Amino acid sequence: MNERVWQLLLDSFWQILLPGIRVTIPLTLVSFSLGLVIALLTAMVQVANIPVLKQMARIYVWIIRGTPLLVQLFLIFYGLPSVGIVLDAISAAIIVFSFNTGAYASETVRAAIEAVPAGQLEAGYCVGMNYLQIMARIVLPQALRTAFPPLSNSLIGLVKDTSLAANITVAEMFMSGQRIAARSLEVMAIYCEVAFVYLLFCTVLTKLQSYCEKRMKIY
């Protein structure tokens, strides 16, 4: 690469990184947090085997897992206005990413809960706990420790999936890279730089995952 390209990469680095810090990371954390709440409720409904709610939860997971994330974004942002519901781009992205994460993570949480020996549930009943107390004090702490690695992978995947929000006009990191590439015509160099920044974010999360897993093993 010539000197002009190197200078372009240096100048554009902060123009790509800052939207990542200001938009991509908050969008990821908010969506993932809401997704975990959805996942936990969905998983508990299925494990508790509540008749109607269990079927509704299965249908929700089936639809979300069976349709592309990009299509879901377009349906919410571009489709809902046709029925009178208008959302700004950030709100639409948070809704879609949250429900998408919730569907996938619910299967992880459900499997982790079912992996806890049934005898622990029975032991909780024997000491006078009700179902919710047993789940909160006995089952979920063990299940979430089992589910932590795959949930961490879901978080890392969500960081990368937020790049799809550029398609509904969210001014996140990938859109910033697109704009710089369009202005400079140095497409290869700029997109490689965007990929590097995503790799940087995911590497930090991977290190945090490794650290947390070690702490949980000690605990």
In angstroms, the CA 194 to CA 58 distance is 37
pLDDT in tens, 90-100: 999 999 999 99
Side chain identity at residue 92, one-letter code: A
Residue 168 · residue 78 · CB < 8 Å: yes
The whole-number pLDDT of residue 39 equals: 94
Q: Which pLDDT band holds residue 174 (cuts at 50, 70, 90)?
A: confident
Higher-pLDDT residue of 40 and 11 is 40
pLDDT in tens, 35-87: 999 999 999 888 888 888 989 999 999 999 999 999 999 999 999 988 888 89
- Residue 5 CB partners (closer than 8 Å, separation 6+): 186, 189
The whole-number pLDDT of residue 1 equals: 59
- Most confident range (mean pLDDT) of 138-147, 167-176, 202-211 is 202-211
In angstroms, the CA 92 to CA 85 distance is 11
pLDDT (mean) for 181-187:
81
Higher-pLDDT residue of 56 and 177 is 56
For residue 82, the tally of other CB atoms under 10 A from its CB is 8
In angstroms, the CA 45 to CA 48 distance is 5
The whole-number pLDDT of residue 218 equals: 59
Please give the distance of CA 88 from its chain centroid, rounded to a whole number.
Answer: 20
Question: Which candidate, 179, 173, 177, 182, places its Cα nearest to that of 202?
Answer: 173
Q: Structure pTM? A: 0.88
pLDDT in tens, 86-129: 898 999 999 999 999 999 999 999 888 888 877 777 777 787 77
Would you state the structure tokens that stand for residue 162, as one six-digit string? 């937020």
